[in-house]
Structure 1
Amino acid sequence: MIHRRYETEDACPMPKQQRGEATVEQVLDAALRLYAASGEAGLTLGAITRTSAVSSGSIYHHFGSLDGVVAALALRSLEQLLKELAAALLQAADARSGIRAVVLAYLDFVQAHPRAARLIHSVTADRQGMARAHEIRDTQEARLTPITLWIRAHQESGELAELSPALIESLAMGPVVAVVRRWLTVGDLDLEEAARELPDRIWRSVGK
């Protein structure tokens, strides 16, 4: 009897919060597979419920709407990208190597996670970003603040141009985003060439 009682205790159900988090990830994983296969047109409520095995009621409970699923999926992919960019940047010994590291980390992410990269650079994500720009930036403050502090520290050391952090960020990432978008859509760019050429060319626009 004691042995059976322990078996029951060991098999206790997952706490409600953890079940909710697992359900969210299950839905987002399914939505990303559908997006990769069929684009935004594939992200229907019926397709998501069939692929994720999560009920429509549960999806509405966690995400509010189908647009909420798309927004959460884009945000999850963006968080993953920002995490890798910040890690690469903060490990660099100086400003120039930091610019090189963040450019290469971006290109590596795109090659390693093409489905997430396609979503981040999609019309869908652009629409969400325009509509919720301040909200999205606020949610990513913990990842973005160290990058801003890194920029300011290297401006104080005389390595980076005396421009606003927002402009430094735009000058550094703008060319990379443009290259990635073209690679994902037209496909006539070589990412290896971009990895060789972009870091030094970007450095000339932000360094001293």
Structure 2
Amino acid sequence: MSPKQQRGEATVEQVLDATLRLYASWGESGLSLGAITKASGVSSGSIYHHFGSLDGVVTALAQRSLEQLLTTLAEALLRAVDARSGIQAVVRAYLDFAQAHPDAARLMHSVTADREGMAHARQIRDSQEARLAPIALWIEAHQETGELADLSVPMIESLVLGPVVGAVRRWLTVGDIDLEEAGAALPEHIWRSVRS
């Protein structure tokens, strides 16, 4: 990587880190180009060059958080010795990630991230393919052994992640779900929904 590319990547990370700090302190209402410029020390021209717009910054930040989450989930899954322990590990890893990174989780589950996700779902999925492929292969391998239900990979993903996403959203917004309780209850219930 050339020095220019390294500087560009460092600038991107600087802007994303500053944006997450602003988001943590002020929510979406605190995100403006002026606030990000001031917090990051990066010029507005450079921000436009790297991200295209304020929405581009928020989308990139949500993408970075998603990338970190998917890496965490894949690592948990690939350490598992069987399908049951893998599914349960993914559920716990998601909950642990949300608890350890509540600001990133809040952004990933925000209206803005949802809107961008819906508008660019295929592009986002394609950009995360390297992280998703090992998960899909793991699911298929455990379907072949007869441990997982004979459902499409997207359906398995939905059955596993849907309840976890719902619990995390409720924890982040309403606050009436205890993630420790969710970590004790959800893994086994979710496993029952996808076992063969």
- Shared fold, TM over 0.5: yes
Matched with 2:23 is 35
1:185 aligns with 2:169: no
Q: For 1:138, which of 120, 126, 138 is the aligned residue?
A: 126
- When the two chains are superposed, the root-mean-square deviation of aligned CA atoms in Å is 0.8
Instruction: Provide structure 1 residue ranges, at least 5 long, that are not aligned to the other structure.
Output: 1-13
Q: For 1:93, which of 52, 61, 81 is the aligned residue?
A: 81
1:62-113 CA distances to partner (integer Å, 9 max, x unpaired)? Answer: 1111111111011000000000000000110000000110001001101111
Counterpart of 1:53, as a letter, is: G
Matched with 2:47 is 59
1:135, distance to aligned residue in structure 2 (A): 0.1
Aligned length: 195
Matched with 1:128 is 116
Instruction: Work out the CA distance in 2 between the residues paired with 1:130 and 1:61.
Output: 24
1:18, distance to aligned residue in structure 2 (A): 0.6
Instruction: Work out the CA distance in 1 between the residues paired with 2:95 and 2:162.
Output: 13
1:39, distance to aligned residue in structure 2 (A): 1.2
Counterpart of 2:133, as a letter, is: T
Counterpart of 1:177, as a letter, is: V
Counterpart of 1:159, as a letter, is: E
Matched with 2:61 is 73
1:22-49 CA distances to partner (integer Å, 9 max, x unpaired)? Answer: 0000000011111111111111000000
Matched with 2:5 is 17
Runs ≥4 residues deviating over 4 A: none
Matched with 2:136 is 148
1:124, distance to aligned residue in structure 2 (A): 1.0
1:181, distance to aligned residue in structure 2 (A): 0.2
Counterpart of 1:41, as a letter, is: S
1:157-206 CA distances to partner (integer Å, 9 max, x unpaired)? Answer: 00000000100000000000000000000001111111111011001110
SS of the residue corresponding to residue 64 of structure 2 reads helix
Percent identity of the aligned residues?
76
Instruction: Work out the CA distance in 1 between the residues paired with 2:48 and 2:173.
Output: 32
Q: For 2:91, which of 103, 108, 112 is the aligned residue?
A: 103
Provide the TM-score with structure 1 as the length reference: 0.92
Matched with 1:174 is 162
Instruction: Provide structure 2 residue ranges, at least 5 long, that are not aligned to the other structure.
Output: none
Instruction: Work out the CA distance in 1 between the residues paired with 2:39 and 2:191.
Output: 45
Counterpart of 2:47, as a letter, is: I
Instruction: Work out the CA distance in 2 between the residues paired with 1:102 and 1:121.
Output: 18
Counterpart of 1:98, as a letter, is: G
Counterpart of 2:50, as a letter, is: H
Matched with 2:190 is 202
Instruction: Work out the CA distance in 1 between the residues paired with 2:3 and 2:160.
Output: 44
Instruction: Work out the CA distance in 2 between the residues paired with 1:68 and 1:194.
Output: 33
Instruction: Work out the CA distance in 1 between the residues paired with 2:148 and 2:3.
Output: 49
